[in-house]
Structure 1
Amino acid sequence: MSKRVRSREVCADCSAPEPRWASVNRGVLICDECCSIHRGLGRHSSQVRHLTHSSWPSSQLQMVQTLYGNGANSIWEHSLLDPSSSVSGKRKANPQDRVHPNKTEFIKAKYQMLAYVHRMPCREDDSVTAKDLSKQLHSSVRTGNLETCLRLLSLGAQANFFHPEKGNTPLHIAAKAGQMLQAELLAVYGADPGALDSSGKTPIDYARQAGHQELAERLVEIQYELTDRLTFYLCGRRPGHRNGQHFIIPQMADSSLDLSEFAKAAKKKLQSLSNHQFEELAMDVYDEVDRRETDAVWLATQNHSTLVTDTTVVPFLPVNPEYSSTRNQGRQKLARFSAHEFATLVIDILTDAKRRQWGNSCESPKDSRHNSESQDNDQPDYDSVASDEDPVQEASCGDSCNDRRTKSSESSDLSDGPITVQEFMEVKSALTASEAKIQQLLKVNCHLSEELRMMQSKLNSLQTENTTLRWQTPGGQQHLQGPLGRHQPRGGRAMSMYETGSSPRQYPHRVESARQEDGVVLQPFPTNVSTEAPLILLVHKAVSHFLFICSSPVPASDTVEPGEEGEEDATLPCTEDVICKTEQITKNIQELLRAAQETKHESFLPCSEKICMAVTEMAALFPKRPSSETVRGSLCLLTSSASRLHGECQKAAEHNPCPSDIQLVTQQVIQCAYDIAKAAKQLVTVTTKENNN
């Protein structure tokens, strides 16, 4: 890409000039600051690569650049392009915004919640909509219109959809039409190059029969993407698929380690896994390899003099909500493996993948015989593993990058052959530079910690003063307050927050400094807390989100004024009853969040039981089969979230998680409570609106 064209590129999320990173599955280019947020979302939300320092298949890079140039970002910001969005207060981030919370909240809403994506009209059966979208995708991939296919995928079209009439998948059609970039896009969204059509042919067969040899070879590479990536991570080489070589198994320099009883037991356990369990483990290790390599590129390309720790550190794989808690915990524990331990695991996975592949091989007898002879006569290709307990990874431009060198150590468990004097001096120079950067980071961190302590002290004094002023009337008397700290009106019952329509967003210049309920004062924490207290920051953020949902007003046109009663709907309960039950749920959730903030995990289960009971009572107010689709959806979210909450709290009580797992357990519990509060608010809004009508 020419320098003149590159100069016109801007970050898709904040419009900063000259973005240096790309989100592969979103088809956008992003700047360093926004990339630091994308990395924390996880690969299930955004797959990031550096434009020049990461290893790219040329066709995949071309696919991303084509999508970006054709306006793929408008897919993820569809509603922001509507002129009415500026009236409603919606706007995208800009380069001057702070990373936390401005850019972070916008990017999470954009890619995790898909808050700005165009929504299809609601239908009775969502599966019908997904099927229709997948059929459209099946037809669209024969053309070069990438953004249309990305839009369909964003709406729920399935990349592996098997067309019942055509008898094949979208990747078969793209391969037959020679659409290389469409094949890359489908592969990013999980399309299988080995999928069979109704005649038993794969997309690779389609490409070869149509004369698209380059595409066929690329599809073979995609088919072995996982094992190729693991091999390249260890030894910087990839198998020669064109020559029929599909696996390279690196070997530990000290092979005697493989003879230990522990290693034998681990390998035996790995081999006993079912194919599905083995695939899950291999995908998790692949994600960890991606995290480690991306961290290496990130550290090599950043200006460390202005490095801010909380925007650069991705200490372990982010939580994937589609996975179980057990699997998420296992994924995060992969980060604790030393370089040697992780390399051993990767080699075992590669070895077993090759064994399973040959066991289920669909190759012709000629190919099978050739592989068998190679195995008998020649040992498989083995490379020394270029990693150690503290590897220094350097990335260079082009597809031939990722040249890895190890830290020099006499006690190294891994070997890369004889080291020349020049290589030794290069490694020594790199280590010296790394140590200087670490010292610089420590100084910056100490300075920031001191500033945070001063700010915390000042904030505490201001909060105390503010609390005293808010709880005193001009006459020195105190008033009772409602569930969220608002004054109750004199001469009548306490007005609900849902009826008053009050919201903390009316006062953007200050944060509610304290809430008192049942004798407990809940102090908020500043959003710039250092990484020394990640759990406190997590709980505080959840509390903020929860209060935002609970205190968001019902639209003015739907608000029920005190003393006014709308016409009751025969299918929905009275608004007063729904509000009463919602406030009961609110109170119980606040108790749970206080327990989370004070790390009282033994209180999780009793709190969840109270919440489940309140949810059951609220659900009983509604008919078993509400006519409103919105009510059905909200009730489903309410009850299912309560059930998940009780399950997570039960796990926390039974397993007594260790300190390293507390953050994950708490995050799961808070997410469930967040969903319950959201569903309850939706039910209040719908009931109020229907009863008014």
Structure 2
Amino acid sequence: MSRIKPKPNVEVCGDCGASDATWASVNKGILLCTQCCSVHRSLGRHISQVKSLIKTTWNTNQLNMVTTLNNNGANNIWEHALLENGSKLLKKKPGPRDPLSVKHEYIKAKHQQCLYAFRENYEDGLLSVENELGKQLHASVRTPNLETSFRLLALGADSNYFHDEKGSTPLHVAVKSDQKLQVELLLVYGADPNCPDNQGRTPLDYAKQFNNKELTSRLIESQYEVTDTLSHYLSMRKPDHSTGVRFLIPSSGFKSNTASLVKLQKLPNHVFEELVMDVYDEVDRRQTEAIWLSCADTTDLNAVPFLPVDNTLSSTRNQGRQKLARFSTPELKTLVYDILVDTQRRQNSEKSSIIQLKESSEVDDSDDPLYDSVAEDEDYAVPVCKDEEPASNKDSIISIESINKTNQVLEQLTKQLRNSDNTITDLRSEVAKLRQCVKALQNENFELKSRLSQKAPAFINGDSGFDSLEYLGENNITDASKSNGKISIDEVDLRQKKLHQRPTSMYETREGINKVSNWHVLKAQLKQNENVRNTSPGLYASPYDRETVLQCTEQITRSIQQLCNSIQEPEKEECVTNAEKVKVAIGKLAATLSKESEGEKIKLMMEVVNRLQPECLNLQLARLKNDNKAVDVHFSNIRDIALSLARFTKEFVTKYSSNQ
């Protein structure tokens, strides 16, 4: 029988592991001890929504939702980096006996900064990421798998995401599937129960259609959660929504402040909503504070004297939120009373305006159609020209004049749009032409490079490629190293430095030119050095020469390997550079070996390597032109050249290694 693994203790604090977890964070899905809960309260309700497990009245489904998330390891999402990187980083997690300052730093990094949370890497843009997360959430809420939906919401999925193909939001799907815990999770993360689908029906409409009384009651309560909390703060009672009562305003014990009520009535709806949310947060803070102070183990902990700063809000609004803490209890209750009164007035006015719009939109078949009616004078800002005109003609004159003016404005706007469209079209054509010019210049540049690389070196004075001093002076170090004699590398570098050195001014000569009066003298000296060096063949060279040969062959082999790797991506121009390195390495080998014994092989290697760089340039040019056939041809040519050079190099390695 297999051994059953013991379940981890889930009834512990998710941040420090303490066993006395009497609080919970609703939106984080974890349980908390008293000390860690004090830190969560200092972060603010926008970061963590804490509730007491013992002294707070819970909705049954909401409590089951939090318990399910905690039992199924929702805390692993917030500590993903710690668990993924092993036990070393787990030392960062504080223990139950650690000081409060250590717990504060850890909880702030974990929940406010989300340093250890699970994050997926997406290569696409932010919009596509949100769409992907929203689609996954839309599919997940139809199942009882609550952890998957919670992980998607933690990653940033929108709880009100509207699926274009399905024509609904995740809350619609959860209500249709009767997933009560999924509904609670979506409501915690801000799902709107009044959001319509493509048929104009809300999640509440579907709950009523399926005769799901529990979900219907919960969705109605979520709509009036703010006003219910404010009513409970005043009278310790909430309205009974099952009887159709939406607001519960105490009839006695409170008196409205006329001045404040007038100011509230003058506020726009969006400003009034912000004020209501700030007062709601302050009421929630005071109610939680009252429960907090009633616990015996919170006497030594710091209280939260005002609403914490929310970085998503402006500094002015944060200051106003903190000033609410200065209100005494009677003053705050008077403000809450005025808010409830004005909220009821605003909602009734909205309902009456909607009813009026519906009544005005209704059309009687016996009357004339709506489109035949003539607009009133108040709808137009055109004065009447003559008082003696008949009243029946005034309306028609005004309407004709207004129509003419409107047509003139539309004609002007149409002309401006046409001109702007023509300008955009011209600019686009110019940009296309410039792109073609740039592309043509790039092609010409690569063609010129390939022609220059394919041009054969010209030898002067009847000298061969190995003995020509002119060839040595006109080309780079690798071309100078073509001589079959044993020319030292330092000598070639020195001459190249002198040949390419510029005078410091127009009155100064190049350094070192006067030291060599004639090129033929230098040529004679070099030939004399070659005769001296050629007295000892390569097979019986000194150990120093053999070591130099083996170093050169090793450099050739390494350069060929780099070339083979670089031809896979020739557009980066690394293959041309590596081809040049191969040529330099073979030139060094040619300068080291004996002319009499190895001259033929070196000459063959130089002839082969001279074809390498042009092939690399042609490969780049073919890749730019998207000529796949030419790419394959040049690729195979480079591979054959590299194979031939590798065979020559292997012969030298075998020959000089066996004579050590």
Task: Tell whether the 8 Å contact from 1:251 to 1:347 is kept in structure 2 after alignment.
Answer: no
Find the aligned partners of 1:59 and 1:66 in 2 and give their Cα distance.
10
Task: Tell whether the 8 Å contact from 2:61 to 2:180 is kept in structure 1 after alignment.
Answer: yes
Task: Tell whether the 8 Å contact from 2:41 to 2:304 is kept in structure 1 after alignment.
Answer: yes
Change (3 A) 1:289 1:6: farther
1:349, CA displacement in angstroms?
A: 1.0
TM-score (norm 1): 0.49
Aligned with residue 349 of structure 1, among 318, 339, 352: 339
Matched, 1:63 2:65: yes
The residue type paired with residue 240 of structure 1 is: D
Find the aligned partners of 1:164 and 1:362 in 2 and give their Cα distance.
33
For 2:185, the equivalent position in structure 1 comes to: 185
For 1:28, the equivalent position in structure 2 comes to: 30
The aligned runs of 1:318-397 (5 Å cut-off) are 318-361=308-351
1:239, CA displacement in angstroms?
A: 0.6
Q: Where in structure 2 are there 5+ consecutive unaligned residues?
A: 1-6, 359-571, 573-660
For 2:95, the equivalent position in structure 1 comes to: 94
Task: Tell whether the 8 Å contact from 1:8 to 1:18 is kept in structure 2 after alignment.
Answer: no
The aligned runs of 1:538-617 (5 Å cut-off) are none
Change (3 A) 1:88 1:244: closer
Task: Tell whether the 8 Å contact from 2:310 to 2:318 is kept in structure 1 after alignment.
Answer: yes
Task: Tell whether the 8 Å contact from 1:252 to 1:344 is kept in structure 2 after alignment.
Answer: no
The residue type paired with residue 55 of structure 2 is: H
Task: Tell whether the 8 Å contact from 2:10 to 2:70 is kept in structure 1 after alignment.
Answer: no
Task: Tell whether the 8 Å contact from 1:29 to 1:68 is kept in structure 2 after alignment.
Answer: yes
Find the aligned partners of 1:67 and 1:277 in 2 and give their Cα distance.
36
1:252, CA displacement in angstroms?
A: 5.4
TM-score (norm 2): 0.51
Change (3 A) 1:362 1:26: farther
For 1:268, the equivalent position in structure 2 comes to: 262
Find the aligned partners of 1:264 and 1:320 in 2 and give their Cα distance.
31
Task: Tell whether the 8 Å contact from 1:85 to 1:91 is kept in structure 2 after alignment.
Answer: no
1:122, CA displacement in angstroms?
A: 4.2
Matched, 1:312 2:311: no
Find the aligned partners of 1:39 and 1:319 in 2 and give their Cα distance.
12
Matched, 1:293 2:302: no
Provide, for residues 155-178 of structure 1, a one-character-per-residue CA deviation record: whole Å limited to 9, x for no partner.
010011111122211111111111
1:127, CA displacement in angstroms?
A: 2.0
Find the aligned partners of 1:364 and 1:319 in 2 and give their Cα distance.
38
Find the aligned partners of 2:200 and 2:345 in 1 and give their Cα distance.
23
Provide, for residues 388-444 of structure 1, a one-character-per-residue CA deviation record: whole Å limited to 9, x for no partner.
xxxxxxxxxxxxxxxxxxxxxxxxxxxxxxxxxxxxxxxxxxxxxxxxxxxxxxxxx
The residue type paired with residue 272 of structure 2 is: F
1:88, CA displacement in angstroms?
A: 5.1
Helix, strand or coil at the partner of 1:361: helix
Provide, for residues 519-569 of structure 1, a one-character-per-residue CA deviation record: whole Å limited to 9, x for no partner.
xxxxxxxxxxxxxxxxxxxxxxxxxxxxxxxxxxxxxxxxxxxxxxxxxxx
Matched, 1:302 2:292: no
Find the aligned partners of 2:99 and 2:14 in 1 and give their Cα distance.
16
Find the aligned partners of 2:290 and 2:210 in 1 and give their Cα distance.
41
For 1:81, the equivalent position in structure 2 comes to: 83
The residue type paired with residue 174 of structure 1 is: A
1:324, CA displacement in angstroms?
A: 0.3
Find the aligned partners of 1:16 and 1:89 in 2 and give their Cα distance.
16
1:251, CA displacement in angstroms?
A: 4.3
Change (3 A) 1:89 1:204: closer
The residue type paired with residue 184 of structure 1 is: E
The residue type paired with residue 315 of structure 1 is: P
Which one has a larger percent helix, Structure 1 or Structure 2?
2
1:351, CA displacement in angstroms?
A: 1.2
Task: Tell whether the 8 Å contact from 1:227 to 1:350 is kept in structure 2 after alignment.
Answer: yes
For 1:277, the equivalent position in structure 2 comes to: 271
Provide, for residues 623-660 of structure 1, a one-character-per-residue CA deviation record: whole Å limited to 9, x for no partner.
xxxxxxxxxxxxxxxxxxxxxxxxxxxxxxxxxxxxxx
Pick 1 or 2: higher relative contact order, CA cutoff 8 A, min separation 6: 1
Alpha-carbon RMSD across the aligned residues, in angstroms, is 2.5
Task: Tell whether the 8 Å contact from 1:231 to 1:248 is kept in structure 2 after alignment.
Answer: yes
Provide, for residues 488-529 of structure 1, a one-character-per-residue CA deviation record: whole Å limited to 9, x for no partner.
xxxxxxxxxxxxxxxxxxxxxxxxxxxxxxxxxxxxxxxxxx
Find the aligned partners of 1:199 and 1:340 in 2 and give their Cα distance.
47
1:360, CA displacement in angstroms?
A: 2.5
1:123, CA displacement in angstroms?
A: 3.1
The residue type paired with residue 311 of structure 2 is: P
Find the aligned partners of 1:219 and 1:280 in 2 and give their Cα distance.
22
For 1:164, the equivalent position in structure 2 comes to: 164
How many correspondences in the alignment? 353
Helix, strand or coil at the partner of 2:87: helix
1:54, CA displacement in angstroms?
A: 1.1
Task: Tell whether the 8 Å contact from 1:77 to 1:110 is kept in structure 2 after alignment.
Answer: yes
1:340, CA displacement in angstroms?
A: 0.9
For 1:42, the equivalent position in structure 2 comes to: 44
Helix, strand or coil at the partner of 2:157: coil
Helix, strand or coil at the partner of 2:31: strand
Find the aligned partners of 1:182 and 1:302 in 2 and give their Cα distance.
35
Find the aligned partners of 2:172 and 2:352 in 1 and give their Cα distance.
18
1:350, CA displacement in angstroms?
A: 1.0
Task: Tell whether the 8 Å contact from 1:59 to 1:181 is kept in structure 2 after alignment.
Answer: yes
Task: Tell whether the 8 Å contact from 2:254 to 2:334 is kept in structure 1 after alignment.
Answer: no
Task: Tell whether the 8 Å contact from 1:39 to 1:46 is kept in structure 2 after alignment.
Answer: yes
Task: Tell whether the 8 Å contact from 1:239 to 1:246 is kept in structure 2 after alignment.
Answer: yes
Find the aligned partners of 2:52 and 2:35 in 1 and give their Cα distance.
13
For 2:54, the equivalent position in structure 1 comes to: 52
Change (3 A) 1:7 1:109: closer
The residue type paired with residue 216 of structure 2 is: A
Moved more, 208-217 or 353-362: 353-362
Task: Tell whether the 8 Å contact from 1:25 to 1:46 is kept in structure 2 after alignment.
Answer: yes
Find the aligned partners of 2:238 and 2:197 in 1 and give their Cα distance.
29
The residue type paired with residue 169 of structure 2 is: T
Task: Tell whether the 8 Å contact from 2:23 to 2:37 is kept in structure 1 after alignment.
Answer: yes
Task: Tell whether the 8 Å contact from 1:92 to 1:106 is kept in structure 2 after alignment.
Answer: yes
Helix, strand or coil at the partner of 2:346: helix
Find the aligned partners of 1:282 and 1:25 in 2 and give their Cα distance.
21
Change (3 A) 1:7 1:70: closer
Helix, strand or coil at the partner of 2:351: coil
Moved more, 50-59 or 7-16: 7-16
Provide, for residues 105-147 of structure 1, a one-character-per-residue CA deviation record: whole Å limited to 9, x for no partner.
1101111011111112143511211121011111111111111
Change (3 A) 1:253 1:12: same
For 1:229, the equivalent position in structure 2 comes to: 229
Find the aligned partners of 2:89 and 2:18 in 1 and give their Cα distance.
24
Provide, for residues 64-102 of structure 1, a one-character-per-residue CA deviation record: whole Å limited to 9, x for no partner.
1111111111111111112x34345753111011111x1
Change (3 A) 1:7 1:75: closer
Find the aligned partners of 2:152 and 2:352 in 1 and give their Cα distance.
33
Change (3 A) 1:364 1:144: farther
Larger radius of gyration: 2
1:301, CA displacement in angstroms?
A: 1.1
The residue type paired with residue 52 of structure 2 is: H
Change (3 A) 1:22 1:362: farther
